[in-house]
Amino acid sequence: MKDRSRTQGFWEDRLRDDWTVSGVGYKTLGRAFNLWMYRVRSEVFNREAATLALDPATARVLDVGSGTGFYVRHWQLRGINSVVGCDLTQAAVDRLRERFPSVTFHRLDIAEPGEVLEPESFEAVSAMDMLFHITDDTRYKAALRSIQQALKPGGYFVLSENFLHRPEQRGDHQANHTLPWIAAALEEAGFEVMRRVPMLVLMNAQVDANPVWRKLWGGLLRAVTLTEQTGGVAGALLFPLERRLVRWLRESPTTEMMICRRR
């Protein structure tokens, strides 16, 4: 409960102050750079979501940790008529309801959703860049079980995580788990992994790189994004390379996207 209260307070404050891509993204790098970063995320998400066998007219999709509604909008752009969103914070839910009046949004903790989510009622669930903010391992696994229970058998679970090959890293508001640990947690929750692809390569913290490169590249990114103007230029210059790297590479030193199915 202490972990939940601390996390909720952190995100309530952050999203109340900055309900933009920088508020939900890599805040240190500024809004202009994040806008370019999210263009890459958008391309990867759309490419992979297009492969899912979903009937837009009948499929129900749940987006967990909706934030600003970035992926809610992308599900809608894919033609999905029935999208439900949820977020831990009231700050996000209030604004999401204004931005998407036709979408139902719930304020809930996915590790303890209660009876809000009807069992086996969704064909797909997305949880993008939010699971690594659950720093308590027991609650992380509880979140996976809740998602599995909300999905119909054979339904898709789309997530983004950092899937480390290096030892896990923990902070006050983020825990980067290893790929084997996440794979085991998914297996335990009743999921089968279908594939994993890079979502970003250079436009994010190099959490799975060697310490020297991680420090050098992180310092360079922070230096070139000291102002919104320079951040916008840096994002524009990196964007063409980044969108190719996420297609060419099989793995990345930062955020990756995974698609699973409920067994």
Dump pLDDT digits (tens) for 110-141. Answer: 999 999 999 999 999 999 999 999 999 999 99
Which whole number is the average pLDDT over 216-234? 96
The pLDDT score that the predictor gives to residue 27 is 78
The residue assigned the tokens 């997530």 is 159
For the beta carbon of residue 238, count every other beta carbon within 10 angstroms: 20
The residue assigned the tokens 């090959």 is 165
Name the more confident of 10 and 263.
Answer: 263
Per-residue pLDDT of 15-72, as tens digits, reads 566 556 655 557 789 999 999 999 999 999 999 999 999 999 999 999 999 999 999 9
Q: Where are the alpha helices (DSSP H) in 29-89?
A: 30-49, 70-77
In terms of Cα–Cα distance, which of 105, 33, 32 is closest to 68? 105
DSSP 132: G
CB 176 within 8 A of CB 207: yes
Cα dihedral angle (12, 15, 18, 24), rounded to 10 degrees? 140
Return the percentage of the chain with pLDDT > 70, whole number: 90
Structure tokens at 10: 């952190």
Label residue 13 by pLDDT band (50, 70, 90).
low
Q: What is the distance of C-alpha 87 from the center of its chain?
A: 12
Structure tokens at 210: 């060697």
Is the domain covering 2-262 a CATH 3.40.50.720 domain?
no
Structure tokens at 116: 């809000």
Q: What is the distance of C-alpha 127 from the center of its chain?
A: 5
> Which secondary-structure segment (H or E) carries 148?
helix 137-150
DSSP 116: S
Domain ranges of the chain: 2-262
Gap between the Cα atoms of 184 and 145, Å rounded: 13
Cα atoms in the Cβ-side hemisphere of radius 13 Å centred on 42 = 16
